[in-house]
């Protein structure tokens, strides 16, 4: 059984591959989803090899990005930043009735400031000690473009 959050993630990836052209080679219908265990990215262009992450978030309004969006594990993100590695990001906002908007933030417009570590999970949590991060969208609000 997929959780609501996993379902939303799948929805976001499906919307990106069906609606978005590849940001690099500009071809239509070349983005495909990567398997869930593929760590650094969610979609790849099967023509040019472009990689991107997809984040889906529920939202009441589709007009603008939320101030922050839940990210993933902080450890790998921090290590990638230390190596100056960033991945372009599609952000899919979805309302409860599955209306949606897609925003795009290119890798070269990202900076360390937009990745904020969260507190590690408590000792009693299922994944005790695990630490995530949030994307602080305030830092990059004017750099993201709305695709649809
Ligand atoms: Zn491409």
Give the pLDDT confidence of 47-105 residue by residue, as tens digits. 999 999 999 999 999 998 999 999 999 999 999 999 999 999 999 999 998 899 999 99
Place of tokens 């090899």: 49
Q: What is the pLDDT of residues 20-45, one digit of tens each?
A: 999 999 999 999 999 988 989 999 99
* Distance from Cα 31 to the centre of ligand 1, integer Å: 7
* Ligand 1: centre distance to CA 99 (Å): 26
Picking from 106, 77, 75, the residue whose alpha carbon sits closest to that of residue 90 is 106
**∠3-12-34 over CA atoms, to 5°?**
90
* Domain range 4-146, CATH class: alpha beta
Strands 51-58 and 88-94: parallel
Task: Select from 143, 145, 119, 142 the least CA-distant residue to 130.
Answer: 119
Domain ranges of the chain: 4-146
The CA 11 to ligand 1 mean position distance, Å, reads: 21
Specify the pLDDT at position 133: 96
Q: Does residue 2 have a pLDDT over 90?
A: no
The two three-digit tokens of residue 134, written as one number:
């949030």
Cα of 28 vs centre of ligand 1, distance in Å, is 9
pTM: 0.93
Distance 76 CA to ligand 1 centre (A): 25
Per residue in 115-125, pLDDT (tens digit) is: 999 999 999 99
Measure 109 CA to ligand 1 centroid, in angstroms. Answer: 19
**Using an 8 Å Cβ cutoff, are 69 and 137 in contact?**
yes
Q: Give the H or E element holding residue 69.
A: strand 68-73
pLDDT at 1 over 80: no
Measure 27 CA to ligand 1 centroid, in angstroms: 6
């Amino acid at each position: 059984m997929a959780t609501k959050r996993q379902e939303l993630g799948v929805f976001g990836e499906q919307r990106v591959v069906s609606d978005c052209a590849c940001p690099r080679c500009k071809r239509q219908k070349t983005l495909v989803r990567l398997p869930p265990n593929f760590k650094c990215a969610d979609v790849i262009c099967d023509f040019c090899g472009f990689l991107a992450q997809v984040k889906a978030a529920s939202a009441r309004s589709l007009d603008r990005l939320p101030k922050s969006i839940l990210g993933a594990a902080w450890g790998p993100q921090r290590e990638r930043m230390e190596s100056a590695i960033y991945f372009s990001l599609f952000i899919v906002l979805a309302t409860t009735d599955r209306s949606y908007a897609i925003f795009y933030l290119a890798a070269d417009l990202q900076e360390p400031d937009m990745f904020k570590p969260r507190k590690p999970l408590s000792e009693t949590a299922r994944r005790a000690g695990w630490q995530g991060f949030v994307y602080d969208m305030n830092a990059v609000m004017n750099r993201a473009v709305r695709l649809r």
